[in-house]
Amino acid sequence: MVSAPANEHYYLGIDGGGSKCKASVADVEGRVLGSALAGPANPLHGVEQTLHSIESAARRALKDAGLPETVLNRLVVGAGLAGVNLPSLYKVISDWPHPFASLHLTTDLRIACLGAHHRDDGAVIVTGTGSCGYVRTDGKDHLIGGHGFPYGDQGSGAWMGLEAIKAVLLASDDLGPDTVLTESIADLLQARGLGIVERMSGRASSEYAKLAPLVFSAAESGDPVALRILTDGAAYISAMARKLLAYQPARLALIGGMAERLIPWLEPEVAKALSVPMGPPEDGALLFARKQHELAQTA
C-alpha cells in the first residue's frame, strides 16, 4: 500500500452504465493509479442501486490503486450517468450525502465525448445496444436520437436485431423474401417461426442486440435482406453524423460496440470525417472531475 500524501486530493472518474459501473482513480497530475468495476449504475433503472454501485466501484478502485480507504473523503469525483439531463434525476443524485470530497455530475454522453476527444467541444455517435448522437459547442449540449427501443435507435444493435426478427418472421409466412438470417437466427436461438416469438417476447433490447453480428455476417455474404437492414441503419447514422458535423465540432468519433463494423457501411464522406477515439468514457469522467475542480478553485 502506498502512503497517501496528507491533504492531497485524488480524482475519481465514474462511467455508469446499465450493466456495470467503471471507476478509475488518478492523482492530481492525472496519472491513473487504479481502476475497478461494480454493479449497474443507470439511475433510470434505480437510483439506490446506482449510488451503491458508485460507492462500491470507488472503494474497489482505491484498493486497486493501493490507496487506503480513508482517501475516500479526499476524492474529487466526476460521474457520467444516463438520465441526469432530466432535472429531477439530477437533483436526486446531487442531494446524495456522498462520502467523497466532491461529486460532479454529468451525462454518460458528455464523458464519452470528453474521453473520445480529450477536449470539450467534440461530437460522438454511440452505437451499441442503442444509438445516440451528441455534440457540445459553446458550452451547450445537443442530442440527436437515442429515443430507445422499439421506436428509435435506428442503426443500433437492438434495432438491427429487431429488423432481423421482423424479416425472418415475414419470410416464415412467405410474405417476405427468403434470407440466410432464417438459418443463422435458428442456430443462435434454437428456434424458428413461433418459437422465435416465444424466445424473444418481452425481452430487453440487449437480447435483440445479440443478433446484430448475424446481420453483419449475412450482409457481408450478400444477403439482400441483411443488406437492406444494414444500408438503412447506416444511412440513419450517416444522416445523424451530417447533423452533428453541421455544428462544426473539433472532432467526431463513432464509439460503442457496433462502431467498428458499422464504419465501412457509412457514406464515404462521413467515414472520412470520423476521428479515432482517444480514450474510453472513464478518461472523460476523470477529465470532467479535474476540470470541474479547477473551475471551483478559480470561482
Residue ranges that bind a copy of itself, judged by CB under 8 A: 144-145, 147-148, 150-152, 154, 162, 165-166, 169-170, 173-175, 194, 196-197, 200-201, 236, 239-240, 243
Task: Say which residue the cell 433490447 belongs to.
Answer: 205
Task: State residue 25 phi and psi, 5-degree precision.
Answer: -115, 140
For 144, which DSSP code? Answer: E
3-state class (DSSP) for residue 207: helix
Of 270 and 289, the one with the shorter C-beta distance to a copy of itself is 270
Report, in Å, the least distance between residue 178 CB and a copy of itself: 15
Calculate helix-pair angle for 181-189, 212-220, nearest 10 degrees: 150
Neighbours of 288 (CB within 10 A): 26
Secondary structure (3-state) at 115: helix
Under DSSP, the state recorded for 152 is S
Among the listed residues 151, 150, 148, the one whose alpha carbon sits nearest the alpha carbon of residue 132: 148
Cβ-based nearer residue to a copy of itself, 112 or 165: 165
Residue closer to a copy of itself by CB (options 71, 241) is 241
CB of 215 to a copy of itself, least distance (A): 14
CB of 262 vs a copy of itself, minimal distance in Å: 17
Cβ atoms of 253 and 274 within 8 Å: the answer is: yes
The dihedral built from the CA positions of residue 69, 104, 17 and 33, taken in this order, carries a sign that is negative
CB of 152 to a copy of itself, least distance (A): 5
Closest CA to 185 of 155, 217, 154: 217
Taking the complex as a whole, the smallest distance from the CB of residue 175 to a copy of itself amounts, in Å, to 5
202 burial via Cβ count (<10 Å: 0-12, 13-18, 19+): exposed
**Nearest-approach distance from CB 242 to a copy of itself, in angstroms:** 10
Task: Give 248: exposed, middle or buried? Use CB within 10 Å, 0-12, 13-18, 19+.
Answer: exposed
If the CB atoms of residues 34 and 152 are measured against a copy of itself, the closer one turns out to be 152
Pick 72 or 185: Cβ nearer a copy of itself: 185
Question: In the numeric block, which cell numbers belong to residue 134?
Answer: 451528441
- The nearest distance, CB 135 to a copy of itself, in angstroms, is 13
Distance CA 36, CA 58 (A): 8
Measure the CA–CA gap between 103 and 113, rounded to whole angstroms.
19
Identify which of residues 227 and 239 has a Cβ nearer to a copy of itself in the complex. Answer: 239
Which CB, 10 or 236, lies closer to a copy of itself?
236
Q: Which is nearer to a copy of itself, 45 or 66 (CB)?
A: 45
Nearest approach in angstroms of CB 191 to a copy of itself is 12
